[in-house]
Structure 1
Amino acid sequence: MRIFQWMYDKALLWAKHRHAERYLAGLSFTESVIFPIPPDVMLAPMALARPAMAWRFAWITTLFSLFGGICGYFLGLWLFEPVVLPAVEYLGKQETFAKVQQWFTDYGVWVVFIAGFSPIPYKLFTVGAGLMGMAFVPFVIASFVGRASRFFLVAGLMYWGGEKMQQKLRDIVDALGWGTVALGAVLYLVYS
């Protein structure tokens, strides 16, 4: 069954849509505050479909992710108890958020940089930075450097990989997709 290859082809087609940049900006912003899907899932196909625009897409992703991170910071700073805390409790993520707070105590601004670059949910650290009263300018600098490093790396890999990478990914995307589904199922069984 080649469902992932079909989805991959559709993603490349949608990446050329006239509003694709707006969707990328919206996804980048919301992912930094509340949304669970990282913008890399749009950035990569857009950079593959239009390599000449890869660096522009990386800038859009970085800047709107940073704006979302700033919004998350102020949510944590001003609206933690009335807005964020009930959501954390509803989702049962009190332990996770307590761990994030401990990481801020232990590592300071470095945790923002690491969360900005890595697949760790960045949104937890934007809200956490505001809640912990982290200095705003170091937060913005660490967020910018971490996010820019990540998104320019993704765009660069797609740009330099070009058409060869596009075809290679198309050839293996079903194996990657089904492997991810299987891994998710195994992790669910192990942790439930």
Structure 2
Amino acid sequence: MLRRLYDWTLSLAARKSAEWWLAFIAFVESSVFLVPADVLYLPMALSRPDRAYRYALVATIASVLGGIAGWYLGYYAYESIARPVLEFYGKFDEFEALRTSSGMGFILLMLVTSGVAHLPPIKVVTILAGVMHVNLGLFIVSAIIARGARFFFLAWLLRRYGAPIRHFIEERLGLIAGGAAAALIVLYVAVRYAL
């Protein structure tokens, strides 16, 4: 099922309505959808490098709006909507572990790491931020920085290196971003508990 969903998302890049689909996928990825917007963004930006930054802007705006929707789901509809979504994707236990052990600073750090490296998945963090009543303004600013950094960095890579960088991005960027995210978490924990 996941492979079919991935292939379907990838097929949207060839459509005339691809930019609208990118906005839609980026929106729902941040609150309820499993496949990351990168799956659609990469082929679109590779086929039209002159629009890579435009696509990055579309993906960033839609992703932040989706994150706000996730925040509202967590804040106002956790039991009725957000919890069933998390259970459906098998993320409920991860969510509960994060909810019981996370402070406000750690949630904001996770928002940045999930926005940049999908660690943990962005939908988990947006819902968690709502459940934990993270200030909505601070949440929005953090989401803009995190999601914008990801999409605009990809745009820069694709504009600078073109198609040869696609393989690198698809195969290794997750590892690099994950390593950077892990380093941020370790730094946060070290500073928090050393002081």
Please indicate the TM-score interval, normalised by the length of the shorter structure: 0.7 to 0.9
Shift of the alpha carbon at 1:99? 2.4
CA distance in 1, matches of 2:88, 2:50: 44
2:55 corresponds to which of 38, 50, 57: 57
- Aligned residue for 2:118? 119
* In the alignment, structure 1 residue 155 sits paired with structure 2 residue 151: no
TM-score normalised by structure 1 residue count: 0.74
Deviations 1:61-108 (A, max 9, x none): 000000000000000000001222234345554320122222345614
SS at match of 1:153: helix
- Aligned residue for 1:110? 109
Deviations 1:149-189 (A, max 9, x none): 001111111111125546xx4xxx9xx6xxxxxxxxxxxxx
2:31 corresponds to which of 18, 27, 33: 33
Shift of the alpha carbon at 1:116? 1.2
Letter paired with 2:96: A
Q: In the superposition, relative to structure 1, how do residues 132 and 158 fare at CA in structure 2: closer, same or farther (>3 Å)? A: same
- Aligned residue for 1:145? 145
CA distance in 1, matches of 2:108, 2:31: 18
Letter paired with 1:19: S
Stretches of structure 1 lacking an aligned partner (at least 5 in a row):
1-6, 177-192
Stretches of structure 2 lacking an aligned partner (at least 5 in a row):
1-6, 172-195
Shift of the alpha carbon at 1:113? 1.5
CA distance in 1, matches of 2:89, 2:62: 26
CA distance in 1, matches of 2:155, 2:113: 19
Q: In the superposition, relative to structure 1, how do residues 83 and 16 fare at CA in structure 2: closer, same or farther (>3 Å)? A: closer
Structure 1 residues 3-42: aligned runs within 5 Å = 15-42=13-40
CA distance in 1, matches of 2:105, 2:159: 37
- Aligned residue for 2:187? none
SS at match of 2:31: coil
SS at match of 1:15: helix
CA distance in 1, matches of 2:85, 2:141: 28
What is the RMSD of the two structures over their aligned residues, measured on CA atoms? 2.4
SS at match of 2:162: helix
Q: Which structure: larger Rg? A: 1
Letter paired with 2:124: L
CA distance in 2, matches of 1:165, 1:83: 39
Q: Runs (4+) of structure 1 moved beyond 3 Å?
A: 13-16, 86-94, 103-106, 163-166
